[in-house]
């Protein structure tokens, strides 16, 4: 959880399913509480580790936009 808090996103590197990677970011409400998350999942062949940071930035951007619509500042 410390990594998630410091980076702002979480990675599942084949921890749940062999051959699958996921990147997720939290969505916050107007009271700065996490209320949901958004994620992207892909086969490891299509989401190599060297692309994780770029995908994470996109996922975080989407999460930030949704959070702002929920009143997060």
pLDDT, one tens digit for every residue, the chain (73 residues):
787 889 999 999 999 999 999 999 999 999 999 999 999 999 999 999 999 999 999 999 999 999 999 999 9
> Contact at 8 Å (CB) between 22 and 12?
yes
Alpha-carbon distance values, 47 to 6, 8, 10, 58, 64 (Å): 22, 19, 15, 14, 22
The full set of domain ranges for the chain reads 2-69
* pLDDT attached to residue 67: 99
User: Does CATH number 3.40.640.10 belong to domain 2-69?
Assistant: no
Residue with tokens 């190599």: 48
* pLDDT attached to residue 2: 80
């Amino acid at each position: 959880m410390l990594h998630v808090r410091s980076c702002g996103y979480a990675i599942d590197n084949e921890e749940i399913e062999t051959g699958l990677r996921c990147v997720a970011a939290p969505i916050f409400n107007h009271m700065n509480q996490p209320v949901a998350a958004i994620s992207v999942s892909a086969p490891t062949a299509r989401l190599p580790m060297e692309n994780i940071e770029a995908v994470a930035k996109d996922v975080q951007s989407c999460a930030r936009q949704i959070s702002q619509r929920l009143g997060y500042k």
